[in-house]
Amino acid sequence: MKKFTPLSTTAALALLAVAPAAAQDRDPQVTFGEFFSPDRIATAIAHTGISALRTQMELQYDHMTVDPMRGIVSLSGIVARPQLAYDQAGQCEILIDRVTLSSDFTSPFQTEAEIDMNLIGAHATLACFERDVAVALRTAGYRDMPIDQFKMRASYTYATGATAVDSTIAINGFGILDYSASGTILPRLGQYGIPAEPAVRVTRAVATLKDDGGWAAVSQVLPENLRDPVMIREMGTQAISSALSQDGLRPLGAVERRFVADLMTQVEAYVTDPGEITIEATLPDNGITLEPEMYADPLDLIAGLGLQVRAAPMARSQILSLDALAAIQTPDSLSPDARIALATALLDGNGVPRSTSMVAGLLEPLLDTPETAGAAAALLARAEQDSDVPNAYRHALIAAAAAEPGAIGLLDKLESRMTTQSVLAAQDRYLTSVGAVAPLEMVTGDDPRDLRALSLAYLTGTGQARSYARAYYYALLAEAAGDIAAASLRNEIIARFGARGPEVAQAWHALSAQVEEQAVTDWISADLPGRYLVTE
């Protein structure tokens, strides 16, 4: 047996000397926190789901990635063999390169709940289809069904209750189907006030099919007369009209007749020179409400949604021209309304690539004009809310003073990203910059409820630039003037600064002391007791 040399013995003793004492007793163990880490828990849940799925089909995969903090689960190298009643030989096999499931965990539950499924590179054998479909596909030259991508996104917006679904199906050598819909489920009372089947307010509905060789493949299995575009149009018009009229039991309305005519015109053009067909709802800005009687039968949706058939989605017709885009470089040539319209398009990505950074150059000059300052400031606040919160808040104050829609929500959102001290400082700077009149000069009349209204306006930012100092000032005066509802409003203002730490408490104590002193001074100097005192 080989013995330690003095040198090796010395080295071993030195290592033991510098190692932690616990390491001399045993090897490091997995801690409780590591054992129950989010990654381990999420992976265990994913494995449980896959085990449950295997009760319905044979399933294999090469690799699984679970990232719970980003809400992502992905599987790659998938082989699935589902159990199908018409596949007695068990020949159905689906190969998938990658499937990803993701949610909005990077900003969890802030504005909406969202889930995305993205399937890339799938091939399904023809045994996965019923016999008639499989024979047709084989005759058309398909050995399997190649799916380049299948993507679906579903979201629920907390603020409005709107639900949206967007999906893409891309089949290699056949076509690409895209569809998008959004709406809100509305409660509805039926007979005797009992909750009934809900109504649906639809705000978007569009589907478009782009040919990628599909018609050329399908037409190979059709009789000669069914390849003729004119024949297809005539037969399609007759068949669809018969279905809509329930075989002549009810007359077709003007919207339905136009839909059939437009549809078959586009179908004729599609089979003559395969391109794209789009069916899209024509809706007002606030959408349209469909009662259960309207959406119970899908055919009734043609008139209810005002469906139109066109060669491409309406968004394609709203793309800005080069002349309109050139105005970005020379904004002085645009009218104020044109500047605002162009800035809105840049913010929403309508007809031009989305760009928030280019909005400032278009709208800043409009802040000097009272007629356009409010609308311009509201758009600037939207553009800067994620990049420059203090400046966005300044613009939101301008928008609130002009009573622009949505300004209050912007103020609340931005304040949640600022310290209370910076909010109070920004409000004071704004009032100073615009040369706001002294608070006492806005006190008119002899009704203390007018003081309460001023306090509420400054507190919320409704028609006035939000200012907690002025809101507190008018609440103090209203309470002193005998307004019985002013005390609760004063308490609401004070509560805004509660439970925010000692620094906020100190800042509010200093500010409120100044406001209280000014309120008492003005109360005496302007003889407000004589104005509001009521003698019996």
User: Residue 195 carries which DSSP code?
Assistant: B
User: Residue 249 carries which DSSP code?
Assistant: T
Q: How far apart are CA 98 and CA 486, in angstroms?
A: 62
Q: Render pLDDT for 400-448 as a digit per residue (tens, 0 to 9).
A: 999 999 899 999 999 999 999 999 999 999 999 999 999 999 999 899 9
| Residue 395 zone, left/alpha/beta (φ > 0; ψ -120 to 50; rest) | alpha
Q: Render pLDDT for 57-111 as a digit per residue (tens, 0 to 9).
A: 889 989 888 887 777 888 899 999 998 888 888 899 999 999 988 876 545 456 7
Q: Concatenated DSSP letters for 374-408?
A: HHHHHHHHHHHTTT-HHHHHHHHHHHHHTT-TTHH
Q: How far apart are CA 26 and CA 46, in angstroms?
A: 34
Contact 97, 76 (CB under 8 A): yes
**How confident is the model at residue 64, as a pLDDT?**
85
Would you mind telling me the total number of residues written for the chain in this entry? 536
Q: Is residue 139 classed as helix, strand or coil in its secondary structure?
A: helix
Tell me: pLDDT of 23 over 80: no
More confident residue, 521 or 236: 521
User: What are the structure tokens assigned to 158, written together?
Assistant: 């907390």
Query: What is the rounded radius of gyration, in angstroms, for the C-alpha atoms of the chain?
Result: 34
Tell me: pLDDT of 285 over 90: no
Q: Is residue 163 classed as helix, strand or coil in its secondary structure?
A: strand
Distances (CA, A) of 326 to 329, 332, 384: 6, 12, 23
- Which of 7-21, 76-90, 154-168 shows the lowest per-residue confidence on average (mean pLDDT)? 7-21
**How confident is the model at residue 247, as a pLDDT?**
77
Q: Render pLDDT for 516-536 as a digit per residue (tens, 0 to 9).
A: 999 999 999 999 999 998 876
Per DSSP, what are the bridge partners of residue 73? Answer: 66, 101
Q: Render pLDDT for 216-226 as a digit per residue (tens, 0 to 9).
A: 888 877 788 77
**How confident is the model at residue 2, as a pLDDT?**
45
Which residues, other chains included, contact 28 with Cβ-Cβ below 8 Å and sequence gap of 6+?
Answer: none
Q: Which amino acid is located at 241 in the chain?
A: S
User: Using 50, 70 and 90 to split pLDDT, how confident is the model at 128?
Assistant: very high
Q: Is residue 69 classed as helix, strand or coil in its secondary structure?
A: coil
Interval 259-267 mean pLDDT: 90
Q: Render pLDDT for 481-519 as a digit per residue (tens, 0 to 9).
A: 999 999 999 999 999 998 889 999 999 999 999 999 999
How large is the angle between the packed helices 389-401 and 370-384, nearest 10 degrees?
150
Quick count: other Cβ atoms within 10 Å of Cβ 308? 18
Q: How far apart are CA 36 and CA 422, in angstroms?
A: 41
**How confident is the model at residue 424, as a pLDDT?**
95
**How confident is the model at residue 240, as a pLDDT?**
86
- Which of 115-119, 198-202, 328-332, 465-469 shows the lowest per-residue confidence on average (mean pLDDT)? 328-332
Contact 150, 157 (CB under 8 A): no
Q: Render pLDDT for 306-315 as a digit per residue (tens, 0 to 9).
A: 888 988 888 8
**How confident is the model at residue 25, as a pLDDT?**
66
**How confident is the model at residue 477, as a pLDDT?**
96
Nearest in space to 380 (alpha carbons), one of 409, 418, 340, 429: 340
Give the chain's mean pLDDT. 85
Percent of the chain whose pLDDT exceeds 90: 40
Terminal Cα-to-Cα distance of the chain (whole angstroms): 116
Q: How far apart are CA 367 and CA 379, in angstroms?
A: 11
CA dihedral for 410, 411, 416, 422, sign (positive or negative):
positive
